[in-house]
Amino acid sequence: MALLLTVSEANAEAPQGWQSEIMPTAWIAGIEGTIMVDGQETDFEKSAGDLFDYVEFAGGLTGGVQYNRWSLRAQFNYFSLSTDALDVEDRPTGGKLDSDMLLLEATAGYWLGSLVEGGSNYLLVGMRLLHSENDLEVYGDDGGMYSKDSDLLDPLVGLRGSFPILRSKIKGLSIVAMATIGGGGDSKLIYGLSPMLQYQFTDKIAARVGFRRAGWRVENDENGGELDFALSGLSGGIAVTF
């Protein structure tokens, strides 16, 4: 961050005028960590490959608008999944978890300059909201149904940058990356990382594919412990600018 904040603009041309972008996205995310549902603690670790069997619906959309040095961006993702491959605290018979999650991340950015010719770097501030609806069925004679809806809203700061690569061999190829960190709202800590490879087909259309991880660490007031979980996996989409 210190390097980007002191970047020289001697050979960088600041963005001018209005520009908008929209990108339907796919995020094949695995889930790992601990989640509490109405006092019942469940531990699980599911890779992106595992979730092909459990995800009932997943989709996302990224969009943004920029005016000169300033930008506004938002990322929306929705997951609906069902799995019985998990461990429930003190319940050897396990259980089944049905979960719907809505993840929204909105940021305002300011253009800092460019580390390399043709690149760009932005300082970000914003918010992340995770809304989840969880229904846990615990198996066994002493089992039962548990439900919990929750909202986690937290501020964040971060950096977003693009860096052209292999310019002499492949025109239009670059790395687009974003890193965020925050917390202090409903979570003790949140973080995000999203490095992606971009290929610019035309001035208006680009394809992006890479990796995305979003994590939370939340204090559990009911039991005095911490919940620690993350979504991570392959992500990609087609971006259209206008």
Question: Residue 48's pLDDT is what?
Answer: 47
Q: Band the pLDDT of 222: cuts 50, 70, 90.
A: low
pLDDT in tens, 82-114: 666 555 555 555 567 777 889 999 999 999 988
Structural domains in the chain plus CATH codes: 2-8+15-241 (2.40.128.90)
Rounded-to-integer distance, Cα 144 and Cα 38, Å: 11
Please state, in angstroms and rounded to a whole number, the distance separating the CA atoms of residues 111 and 235.
Answer: 25
The pTM for the full model equals 0.81
> For the segment 112-123, what is each residue's pLDDT rounded down to a tens digit?
988 777 788 999
Strand stretches in the chain, DSSP E:
18-37, 40-46, 55-67, 70-83, 87-88, 95-113, 120-138, 144-164, 173-182, 189-200, 205-220, 225-241
Q: How confident is the model at residue 146 (pLDDT cuts 50, 70, 90)?
A: confident
pLDDT at 178: 96
List, for residues 192-212, the tens digit of each pLDDT value.
999 999 999 999 999 999 999
**What does the mean pLDDT of the chain come to?**
81
